[in-house]
Structure 1
Amino acid sequence: MSQHDMVIDNQAGAAFRADLNSALGAIATNQAGSGEPNPSYPFQFWADIGAGVLKMRNSANNAWIKLGLLGATNFGLIQPGAIVFHAKNVVPAGFLKCNGGVVPRNIYADLFAEIGTTFGVGDGSTTFNLPELRGEFIRGWDDSRGIDVSRGFGSAQAQGERTHYHAIQYNIYGLGGGGSNITIVNSSTDSATTTGGETRPRNVALLACIKY
């Protein structure tokens, strides 16, 4: 991609024309590529095709600001660490599957800065784990409300069923002449139909993804 510091030096003839053409070429290509433009300048745009993100240089010229996803119809920025459910079984650009996988900390530095080792330390130095959401329901973190107490943020919870009781209906006839026999002639209990090894509500299976 074309690069230029957007400063036209005081020079004559062919050198001036070459410098000007280089600056115009950088503008024409919109500084698109997988490598960071160097040199950079304040408020410079960069289409980072490697990450699929449009970025702009900040006013101090020391960091890139993410503006949005390239090719997205909704140009709003989704922050790293945001989890979405995708209505396709293929992960979209700019996201990773929430499959508990181990990924490099340096390549996914923005995501690591957000979630750290909440979902696993990886190898303890160069990698970290993604959330594992395959086959899981999502529950809002209690955050001291007292409904789902003693839960650590990001922790998993096994299935369970609240303590409950089932009524038994029965009829008995009176004792015989000797007072020693009781005959139960009608009894019934509540019944339930089981469908497997878990209790669950109606649901739809979608692909859980996390923004990096």
Structure 2
Amino acid sequence: MYKTIYTALGLALVSQAVSQQRTIEITHFAVGDGSGNSVQINESMRQLVREKYRSTVNRIFQDPENENRFTAEMIIPVTVAGFVIREIALFDRNGNMIIVGQTPEVYKPTLSEGVTQDSVYRIPFVVSNPEILQLNFDPNVVIATHQWIINTLTPATMFPGGTTGQVLKKKSNADGDTGWDDAGSADVFVNTIEEEQSLVADQLIVDLSQTTTHGAAVYINGDRITQKTGADGWQATSATRITLGKAYTGAKILIVQNEPLGTAPFPLAQNKNLADVPNKPLARQNLGVMSADEAKYNDCPPGTIVGLASPNIPPGYRLLKCNGAAYSRAVYADLFAAIGTYFGAGDGVTTFNVPEARGEYPRYADDGRGIDVGRVVGSKQGDAMRNITGTFEGNTDDGEAGKKGAFYNTGQGFLGANGASWGGVIGFDASRVVPTANEVRVRSIAVLACIRY
């Protein structure tokens, strides 16, 4: 069963847009191949399993019979190299994945395979409040033809530098990581990597996730096929891609890269601050560290209040002092999306306020419990104490013993039960027993209140 769903992040952004009367601008469409296998989508996804192509949304149009139903459209030019499409997604202008879906396994052919038309992909989706969508498109965006690029652009004009006899080389498997070097020089490290993928109908091109050598052995359902031209062979068409001589529908392909030195790991080849690591996500996984984007959503979310045992925020931490100051809604978009104008609307247009927590005690929101009724997040509350009343038993000046006078001072004595005044003044001074101040408070320790942005 194939479907599209809102991500948890997408639902949160839609909910915020509705509640805060803001808009969501969907700008980009992406497709991927699921790293060679079928994809099981879920709400926690923030990126495709393996993205193969991304572009601006060509258009979003509304269903004429249902104002809440929209369809986003993307065009993949025929000049883009072929790959299998198993997953699709929509992103907003901040790069947040709003909608993700799975598709039938379809091979996207290329110009060299006899196809002459661009590929068009569409995602239908439903929005309960159409007013939150902001649809902006640039009519001046055009796609240069494959022939124009070949006739007009050369490596020398696009990548200046180098000397006579040098050629443009890939430094790593990352897109755009190239440089000029001598034609005969090469940095080669050999290690065994086995990668298995599922082949679909008409698939000839297979992309590898990682390569460490120019040599590889290819097996189809356990049978090895040789590197040669013709229907029964395969060819290496780039450092990370092989092309089969024929399609093997439904088969499993296993690509085994050589390992003449055993399983001993090799060190980094160059001192480039890890820029020469071809598979950075896998490297972070092996090291047990997160990327900046992963850390953004895995330490604590924007809007979290923390206390520091220091007067200043250490460098490098995404924290702001809770001093009631106004900040830009655009620069601190994640924090604004989390707290909105709960603690102040700033100038009402471009800024918002963080909480003012200096000298204050925090109190958790009642949230329907019924103890601190009527309070909402961000509301302030003054100091107070419970009322103290009582009675005093003694003789009043009317001569009657045992009358009870109300226990409060009139400024001139106390009142008797029958209204007659009772002579004498009773003094009360709490400072003789407990510490006193100009406020009601508990014991405390001062820390610096900060908020995560």
Q: TM-score range by the shorter chain?
A: 0.5 to 0.7
Q: Distance in 2 between matches of 1:190 and 1:158?
A: 26
Deviation at residue 14 of structure 1 after TM alignment: 3.4
Structure 1 counterpart SS, 2:426: strand
Alignment partner, residue 301 of structure 2: 79
1:108 to 325, 329, 332: 332
After TM superposition, list the pairs within 5 Å mapping 1:83-98 onto structure 2. Answer: 83-92=305-314, 93-98=317-322
Deviation at residue 137 of structure 1 after TM alignment: 0.5
Aligned length: 170
Alignment partner, residue 295 of structure 2: 66
User: Unpaired segments of 5 or more residues in structure 1?
Assistant: 19-23, 32-40, 47-53, 57-63, 69-75, 177-181
User: 2:426 is aligned with what amino acid?
Assistant: S
Distance change (3 Å), C-alpha of 1:94 and 1:4: farther
Alignment partner, residue 273 of structure 2: 29
Structure 1 counterpart SS, 2:291: strand
Asked if the contact 2:322/2:451 (under 8 Å) is kept, the reply is yes
Distance change (3 Å), C-alpha of 1:15 and 1:203: farther
Ranges of 4+ aligned residues in structure 1 off by more than 4 Å: 15-18, 24-27, 171-174, 182-187
Alignment partner, residue 162 of structure 1: 386
After TM superposition, list the pairs within 5 Å mapping 1:185-200 onto structure 2. Answer: 188=426, 190-193=428-431, 195-200=436-441
Alignment partner, residue 17 of structure 2: none
Distance change (3 Å), C-alpha of 1:175 and 1:165: closer
Deviation at residue 80 of structure 1 after TM alignment: 1.3
Relative to the length of structure 1, the TM-score reads 0.62
Structure 2 counterpart SS, 1:135: coil
Distance change (3 Å), C-alpha of 1:183 and 1:165: closer
Alignment partner, residue 14 of structure 1: 183
Deviation at residue 15 of structure 1 after TM alignment: 9.7
Q: Distance in 2 between matches of 1:15 and 1:116?
A: 59
Asked if the contact 2:430/2:436 (under 8 Å) is kept, the reply is no
Instruction: Say whether residues 1:55 and 2:291 are aligned partners.
Output: yes
Asked if the contact 1:80/1:211 (under 8 Å) is kept, the reply is yes
Deviation at residue 202 of structure 1 after TM alignment: 1.4
Distance change (3 Å), C-alpha of 1:109 and 1:42: farther
Q: Distance in 2 between matches of 1:133 and 1:15?
A: 65
Deviations 1:123-148 (A, max 9, x none): 12221100000000011100111101
Distance change (3 Å), C-alpha of 1:124 and 1:16: farther
Asked if the contact 1:82/1:211 (under 8 Å) is kept, the reply is yes
Larger Rg: 2
Q: Distance in 2 between matches of 1:203 and 1:154?
A: 22
Q: Distance in 1 between matches of 2:421 and 2:301?
A: 70
Alignment partner, residue 22 of structure 2: none
Asked if the contact 2:328/2:351 (under 8 Å) is kept, the reply is yes
Does 1 or 2 have the higher relative contact order (CA < 8 Å, sep 6+)?
Answer: 1
Deviations 1:43-90 (A, max 9, x none): 4889xxxxxxx635xxxxxxx33268xxxxxxx612211111111111
Deviation at residue 28 of structure 1 after TM alignment: 3.7
2:364 to 125, 140, 164: 140
